[in-house]
Structure 1
Amino acid sequence: MSLIHIGRNIFTVFVLFNFAATTIFIVEAVNAIPRSYIVEYEHNSGGSNYHHNAVNQELEQYNDLYKVKHVYSSPIFNGMSVTLNDNHTKQLQQHSAVSSIASTLAKSNDHHHPVFSQLRSHPVVKHIYPIYEVPRPQWKANQEDISLPYLGRDSQVNDIHSKLGLTGKDVLIGVLDSGVDYYHPALGGGFGEDHKIKLGKNLVSAEDDQENGVEPLGENDPYDPCRNNDAGHGTHVAGVIAGYYPEKNFVGIAPNASLGVFRIFGCEGGATEDTVIKAMEMAYKAGCKVINLSLGIENSWPEDAMSVVAERLSNQGVVVVGVAGNQGENGVYSQNSPATARSVISVASVDNSFVYSNVISFDFINDEYFSFATSTTTDGFPNGTIATITENGQVPFGCMSDTSITTNSAQGKILLVRRGACTFREKVEKAQSVGAIGVLFYDPNAQDKSVPIADTEGTDLPFAGIDSQLAGRLAERMTQESEGIQVIIPAEKQIVVPPRAGKISGFSSTGPNYELDLKPSITGIGGSVYSTLPLGVNDGWGVRSGTSMASPQVAGSAALLIEYQKLQQLNYTSHYIIEQLQNHGKLIAAEDGRLEHPVVQGAGLVQRK
């Protein structure tokens, strides 16, 4: 047996010892589920459940010591997932650890568990993997609103639809996520063979739904019943892939593709790797040619169980698309499994180039609109005049000690202040004390055109952030204009170019994987993506950000390529589709004009040429 330790650092892989054929993978991670394992059998030539039945028969004497959760039987995986009961643990305390691996096993109280011992020595057991919790997909709600056709300007999808007639017709795409509101008019208004969402399964337990106040749906219904603040991830993803609603000028990447939806996330919390693998197997058996996985765990090892199965799916001809992850602040090697697998597409994110949002304008700047971010307690911002106040030639901080801000200079006006020197709460109190009707602030240390957001809990005074470059223009004008600058909030939303349009999103995870394979593979638009939400959540539409939004754009693009191959009566493989997507990527430049490194952007922004 080989015990392979897979840690969070690239240098921590090693083989401890060999005394049987079974390989046990141990990965140091905070989200490992105690006493839970995925067991893989050797290649099965005696029938679909032959090995499983044999193993369970031999474990019959230990029926009260373990529970089988999922059984796998397909060309991509043959085995089961089990949970060991923890009433056989004290014996381990008598055994000394001979290494960090043995220590890890001892801490888990499993190395000498009779079921674990039986499995590791069984001749048909090939691998034993720990099971890790898969966090609820990370995404961010946006204050601005955008229209998906503008996404097409970045990636030519409108031309593909209109000039080549490619729309994903007759391509089945699997969506493993939180389910979907299939009643949404942009998603076909129903579920079944005659609808866009043709098939699906619900892998969320009835107990889980009941705990969250939701009536259990049954295993054959992938509907998303959740309506909390975090609801709608799967519905948003499905809309990006295949939504169509001309009344809103809304078109997904592959609007005529069919969807198979597999609900693996309930209303709260995450899922488990063994459930994700079961859903992968179901999608494979259902005939999905593309599988989108807007989910993952931060684990850059392609030996992770989900990555192993995703790799096998790809080798079976299925195009598997996953997220690079939203851990960009963690630096290199922050890729997410299962997209860490070599033949799985890992998708990074760029910010959208066109935003249709509430904007702010100023009387001395003609025909320009600017994004602004209201504070956590601000619903709207007033029209008014910016008080012409400077302090030693600079915009003041707006703290209580700022003597330049007085009732005479600020009453009935809007204050422009700098971030820093005191809390937002103190800036609000100062503004209120002098009778100001609102506050605009900026971050003088911001290196780009990012718009800061203030937490102003406990007040209803209008408070909003603007970018530092715009603030510089206002400050310069203030030195020339003694009457003050007029702030105008247009009644209608306007199209603006966001601060980091076309740049790698700050949250997008960096590669490579721990085996030094190129990850991410390619980039999609993940910053500020407009798509469908469940009916009853923000009127069924909303803007979200994350690599979760970038991945379905690449999945839809893969469907367009598959449709083209079919129309040309050409054979294709998943590796060919991946190669074509990468060969036509548009390279992305960083802020300084130099190209982003491949471990940041992969082969560039996905294009449909």
Structure 2
Amino acid sequence: MKITAILSVIAAATLVSAGKVHPINAGREHVSGGYIIEYEDHANHRDFQNSLRSHKVDFKVRSEYGIFNGAAITVNSEHGGNDLAKLPGVKNVWPIARYSIPKVKQHKKTDKEPLSDHKMTGVDVLHDKYKLTGKGIKVGVIDTGIDYLHPAFAAKGADKGCFARYGKNCRVTHGWDFVGDHYDGKSTPKSDSDPMDCFGHGTHVAGIIGGNALHIVPGKQGPAPPAAFVGVAPEVTFGAYRVFGCDGETGNDIIMQAMELAFNDGMDVINMSLGGGSAYKTAPEAVLGDKLIARGMALASAGGNDGSDGVWMVSDTGLGDLSSSVASFDNAFQLLPSYTFAGVKHPYGIASAYKKVIDLPAMPIQPIFEADGSLSDGCDPARYAGLDVTKKIVLVLGDVTRCKSGGRGTVAVGAKAAGMVVQTTPFGIASLGGAPGFPMASIENKAGNDLLAAWKKDSKQTLTWSTKVESIQVEGGGFPSGFSSYGLDGDLRSKPDLGAPGGAILSTYPTAKGSYAVLSGTSMATPYVAGAHALYMQAKHAKPHGDVIRKAFKNTATISKDIGVSTLTSAAKQGSGLVNVLNAVLTTSSITPDHIDLLDSVRMNKKVKITIKNSGKKSETYSFSHLPASALVSYTGNNTYPLATPQIEADSASVVFSQKKVKIPAGKSAKITLHFEEPKKGNAKVWPIYSGFVVATPTSKNGIPVHVPYTGLKGDVSKIPIMDVEDGWPAFTHTEGEVSKITPYPKVKVLDFTNPKTPSFEVTAKLGSHTPNYTIRVYKASDKSFVGYLASDGEAAIGPRGRNKLANTDGSENVWSFPWVGQVVSSATQVVPTLLPSGTYRIEVASQYKFTKDEYPKNYEIFDLKTVTIKTAA
């Protein structure tokens, strides 16, 4: 590759700053040439732009931030993140990441009214008895926009004006479209003042926060809702900040613009039902979120929908120290169609690729078995050998260890099955992507067992489908959603923070798309918490910072059990529990901090102090107790990648309180010391994540207990495998075609980087856990001397990374690929990549173990890719 004279000038310049370059999250794409820059406190926009010009960097400003003190730019010259980090006044540099519109499960509607999710959280009592509606509170929705003409957002006494436009006296008072209809994350955004939603996600989110469909007159204002419903805070006013087009992705630089505008518009709460993938808390959106909360806002962010990928997957945008990362709980009743087998009716969920209620005629079922007689996951075509499944519905297990629904559906289509029912593991109705046009249904775990037992008694019985959708109580209703992501984060911090109803939630949808929809996702749980913030602020006649409200919600949440057993669900899944807004408003007690991170066996925080505050008008006596939760085991049989569904064990820590009871006068506080010991049970060699809850119970009548969760890991976290080496990774790969399809690179004698026909070449790895420093190192094959880190387009393969998901939505492996054309940098601070001379080089992929010093090779997991011969123009 040509190294220009401009780059040489920069290399020779004397620069005074040493900013830090952060890599993009594992599995996420970035905007070509796009960077988010955070300045040092003394620097400003003018200083930065002058520095860019003086160092001959060709750039275009995408965004400028005030509170964040930085900017987003596109670099048009051959400069990368390392170049920018060396400019004076630069503190941090991030590639601009692209976010997709969150994938949610869409359910069919019904004319029957479901049991309101407000009964699960006490919001119904706050509405009916205390008349709380969120009036006077402003909530900013950073999403796909809002259909502000929807009748469920009509403002009392101002309907006429608001149905013409949003603005003063309307429910949606502020707004901005940052991108335009045709923006897809890659094209040029075209902003304007109209945040109308053409996708649907943002309108659904806004309806959960504050829609009101109780008084809609059918015909006059549009179609009636399929069931009466009202949002959490039906009189809040909204700011609609549209950051997505009608489809596609967006850049996090645009999300950050929306966050700052929401603050400047006076929003009290920001809802961010977006994010994805595991990460550290250093993502720029998380950094900005904490800055906004410190200035008086509240921020609720989605915990992620990657529950089928196991631990370490809580989403990035809610990882700030002050923000609320929200998990999902399933609605107790869902709107579902049903099927009947052996005289028993069961509900089912439709695969999104099928797009309609299943209307097949009655036909037999055919379970697919493994060689040992257990129900198969349906991923291996060989399991169909010798079976005639034409005109039959196949029954398979919904384990996602080997493949997801699209893969097993494709196998069934190849075997000529008429349809498929997938038994959910561990429970409930799962979200299925499925194979296009193939009838696939998710069924409950118990229902799958019932089907199998009835089939063994009489294999000639037929399964019949009902096309009627109705309100049905479901397995797992009221419990944490299976799709909701597990923590912990890369620093063993307790995330997610708390949960809210997010499974099967009826809400508003753009009128052009049917007006109403039932969706599932942490995207739905997050606005529930945002609306809860509004009720809390109204009740307190104050607007506390978001971390203060988070503490109230976490202290008073309803702790959930694991379904079907008596153990409490891990705090790594449910956080502090299901938000109980009624208790949060009424309590006069609190515990600080709102979570306890015990870390691991080697670094364990055995002695922790908590503060109990009595905000009531009378003295209160508190007694203390400990509620252990189940432990999660993700590494068994020496696997290097965490189990898709962690095994549950009864590994309990012990807690000794410095005093069993304490009397606290009105308005006063007391400190209690907790002495923790890790679980005696549990194998430290498989690193179980244990957790529990410390509870302070007032002894007075009607006193509301308060609690905080704790989490810890038994064993040495620095020994946990980082890279997945079971499926052939790391490896040399290349990308085929316009769609990224990673395939192993064919064995060739020489990679000729001077030949434009040489295929794109990458080093690809799959991370099963976070690493504080992921590197790809290059050595001379002849004498094994270090020559540098892989570099491409100004980026170097150095820095912290979160883990990869098990697979992409299309069933392909979710991996991280670093393209290479023969360039390296000698260190993280090198300004200009060096083009290696032709020769043979050895490549090492190395990941630093958690909580270790950066000492190579001592504290690194190393995979040797052997040698590769290259030809370059150097």
Do the structures match in fold with TM over 0.5? yes
| Maintained 8 Å contact 2:353/2:437 | no
Structure 1 residue aligned with 2:92: 128
State the Cα distance separating 1:372 from its structure 2 match.
Answer: 5.4
Give the SS at the match of 2:183. Answer: helix
1:540 aligns to 2:538 (yes or no)? no
Structure-2 change in CA distance of 1:170 and 1:488 (3 Å): same
1:28-50 superposed Cα distances (whole Å, 9 cap, x missing partner) = 54534344333333446xxxxx9
1:497 aligns to 2:469 (yes or no)? no
Structure-2 separation of matches of 1:390 and 1:20: 68
State the Cα distance separating 1:278 from its structure 2 match.
Answer: 1.4
State the Cα distance separating 1:257 from its structure 2 match.
Answer: 0.4
Structure-2 separation of matches of 1:458 and 1:511: 35
Number of corresponding residues = 525
Structure 2 residue aligned with 1:434: none
State the Cα distance separating 1:330 from its structure 2 match.
Answer: 3.6
Structure-2 separation of matches of 1:390 and 1:293: 42
Single out whichever of 313-322 and 584-593 deviates more from structure 2: 584-593
Structure-2 separation of matches of 1:472 and 1:334: 29
Matches within 5 A, 1:178-197: 178-188=144-154, 189=163, 190-197=165-172
| Maintained 8 Å contact 1:399/1:426 | no
1:558 aligns to 2:533 (yes or no)? yes
Structure-2 separation of matches of 1:599 and 1:506: 13
Structure-2 separation of matches of 1:600 and 1:506: 9
Give the SS at the match of 1:301. Answer: coil
1:425 aligns to 2:389 (yes or no)? no
| Maintained 8 Å contact 2:99/2:252 | no
Structure 2 residue aligned with 1:549: 524
Single out whichever of 548-557 and 145-154 deviates more from structure 2: 145-154
Structure 2 residue aligned with 1:595: 568
State the Cα distance separating 1:528 from its structure 2 match.
Answer: 1.8
1:604 aligns to 2:582 (yes or no)? no
Question: Which one of 249, 252, 262 corresponds to residue 270 of structure 1?
Answer: 249
Structure-1 separation of matches of 2:495 and 2:368: 49
Matches within 5 A, 1:283-322: 283-322=262-301
State the Cα distance separating 1:208 from its structure 2 match.
Answer: 3.0
What runs of 5+ residues in structure 1 fail to find an aligned partner?
A: 1-18, 45-49, 90-107, 407-413, 432-438
Structure-2 separation of matches of 1:394 and 1:130: 48
Structure-1 separation of matches of 2:562 and 2:329: 11
| Maintained 8 Å contact 1:582/1:603 | yes
Structure-2 separation of matches of 1:336 and 1:375: 23
1:238 aligns to 2:206 (yes or no)? yes
Question: Which one of 44, 54, 62 corresponds to residue 51 of structure 1?
Answer: 44
1:154 aligns to 2:120 (yes or no)? yes
Structure-1 separation of matches of 2:346 and 2:145: 38
Matches within 5 A, 1:5-154: 20=16, 22-29=18-25, 30-43=28-41, 51-57=44-50, 59-61=52-54, 65-73=58-66, 76-86=67-77, 88=78, 108=80, 110-112=81-83, 116=84, 120-122=86-88, 125-145=89-109, 150-154=116-120
Identity %: 26
What runs of 5+ residues in structure 2 fail to find an aligned partner?
A: 1-14, 155-162, 217-224, 398-407, 583-874
Give the SS at the match of 1:135. Answer: strand
Structure-2 separation of matches of 1:130 and 1:552: 28
Structure 1 residue aligned with 2:347: 370
| Maintained 8 Å contact 1:400/1:426 | no
State the Cα distance separating 1:597 from its structure 2 match.
Answer: 1.5
State the Cα distance separating 1:191 from its structure 2 match.
Answer: 1.0
Structure-2 separation of matches of 1:327 and 1:295: 13
| Maintained 8 Å contact 2:256/2:285 | yes
Structure-2 separation of matches of 1:57 and 1:554: 43
Question: Which one of 521, 525, 534 corresponds to residue 501 of structure 2?
Answer: 525
1:56-80 superposed Cα distances (whole Å, 9 cap, x missing partner) = 345555677111111222xx32232
State the Cα distance separating 1:574 from its structure 2 match.
Answer: 2.5
Matches within 5 A, 1:564-579: 564-566=539-541, 572-579=544-551
1:348 aligns to 2:335 (yes or no)? no
| Maintained 8 Å contact 1:134/1:296 | no
Structure 1 residue aligned with 2:261: 282
State the Cα distance separating 1:601 from its structure 2 match.
Answer: 1.1
How high is the TM-score relative to the length of structure 2? 0.53
Structure-2 change in CA distance of 1:217 and 1:170 (3 Å): farther
| Maintained 8 Å contact 2:211/2:234 | yes
| Maintained 8 Å contact 1:324/1:509 | yes
Structure-2 separation of matches of 1:58 and 1:379: 57
1:390-412 superposed Cα distances (whole Å, 9 cap, x missing partner) = 99999999979558x99xxxxxx
Question: Which one of 301, 305, 311 corresponds to residue 332 of structure 1?
Answer: 311
Structure-2 change in CA distance of 1:162 and 1:24 (3 Å): same
Give the SS at the match of 2:254. Answer: helix
Structure-2 change in CA distance of 1:206 and 1:502 (3 Å): closer
Structure-2 separation of matches of 1:121 and 1:483: 75
Structure-2 change in CA distance of 1:144 and 1:35 (3 Å): same
RMSD (Å) for aligned C-alpha atoms: 4.0
State the Cα distance separating 1:211 from its structure 2 match.
Answer: 9.8
Structure-2 change in CA distance of 1:34 and 1:386 (3 Å): closer
Give the residue type in structure 2 aligned to 1:220: S
1:297-317 superposed Cα distances (whole Å, 9 cap, x missing partner) = 424322221111100111111
Structure-2 change in CA distance of 1:343 and 1:486 (3 Å): closer
| Maintained 8 Å contact 1:350/1:505 | yes
Give the residue type in structure 1 aligned to 2:531: G
Structure-2 separation of matches of 1:290 and 1:525: 19
| Maintained 8 Å contact 1:349/1:550 | yes
Give the residue type in structure 2 aligned to 1:27: P
| Maintained 8 Å contact 1:168/1:563 | yes
Structure-1 separation of matches of 2:283 and 2:355: 45
Single out whichever of 445-454 and 340-349 deviates more from structure 2: 445-454
Structure-1 separation of matches of 2:48 and 2:364: 78
Give the residue type in structure 1 aligned to 2:544: Y
How high is the TM-score relative to the length of structure 1? 0.75
Give the SS at the match of 1:142. Answer: strand
State the Cα distance separating 1:23 from its structure 2 match.
Answer: 3.1
Structure-2 change in CA distance of 1:121 and 1:353 (3 Å): same
